[in-house]
Amino acid sequence: MAYRETGKVREHKAAQRELLLATGEALVREGGFAALTVQALAARAGMGVGTVYRYFRAKDELATEVFRRATEREVAAVAAALAGQPDAVASLRAAIGCFARRALRAPRLAWGLIAEPVDPAVDAERLRYRAAYAELFEQVIAAGLRAGELPPQPTRLAAAALVGALAEALVGPLADHQADEPVIHELTLFCLRATGARLAEQENDHDQTDGFAPGRARGHA
């Protein structure tokens, strides 16, 4: 007998796979999924093209995995922002603010997750991504309905429309890229009005629960 996979090797393989996924996300953050080519990935990760295929059956699989991870992180952040909010309006504010800040901070990634055209395989994942967001918003709206905070409305439709409004205003081609906070503030008001929340007309919008540490640099596209 001459060879058996040892712990060190196993660790190394896991690290390689991890490296590929991290590098893949970095590429996506810089240039969207279009920039995620096997050649570029291998070069950036410091390995040969063929090696990539030792860790992923096909590029689809890799891209899907990169998408899924980023997705899960984003959705989890929004879900976390929702936790413990006292009412539906506060929840909506928190969710919108969280979504918006993260999207504005990583616009290419957000665009990749939300809108960029990629393969069918990734598109299937995107469906789940949007659905997950819509689900979050839907539940908040439903809760608001039950509590009488929001007027009757089809929750699914409203949730979809919210996601669309946020996406378009933030990462769509119409995004103005002005100072972030005022945009977020106005967009929040827009969404709250859309769902029929009764606004107190004084907007103390000091919620910043977005899962990020407060100070950091961010480049504009």
Residues that bind DNA (CB under 7 A): 1-6, 8-9, 12-13, 16, 36-39, 42, 46-51, 53-55, 58-60
Among 30, 154, 177, 203, the residue binding a copy of itself under the rule CB under 8 A is: 154
What does the alpha-carbon distance between residue 128 and residue 68 come to, in Å, rounded to a whole number? 9
By C-alpha distance, which of 161, 198, 182, 1 is closest to 101? Answer: 182
Among 193, 198, 205, 212, the residue binding a copy of itself under the rule CB under 8 A is: 193
By C-alpha distance, which of 80, 220, 69, 88 is closest to 155? Answer: 88
At a CB cut-off of 8 Å and minimum separation 6, what does 78 contact?
A: 95, 98, 99, 133, 136
**Per CB under 8 A, which region of 37-45, 51-59, 65-73, 187-195 contacts a copy of itself?**
187-195
Taking the CB of residue 52, how many other CB atoms lie within 10 A of it?
21
**164 contacts a copy of itself (rule: CB under 8 A):** yes
Among 126, 136, 140, 144, the residue binding a copy of itself under the rule CB under 8 A is: 126
3 state DSSP class of 44: helix
Minimum CB separation of residue 66 from DNA in Å reads: 12
**46 contacts a copy of itself (rule: CB under 8 A):** no
**167 contacts a copy of itself (rule: CB under 8 A):** yes
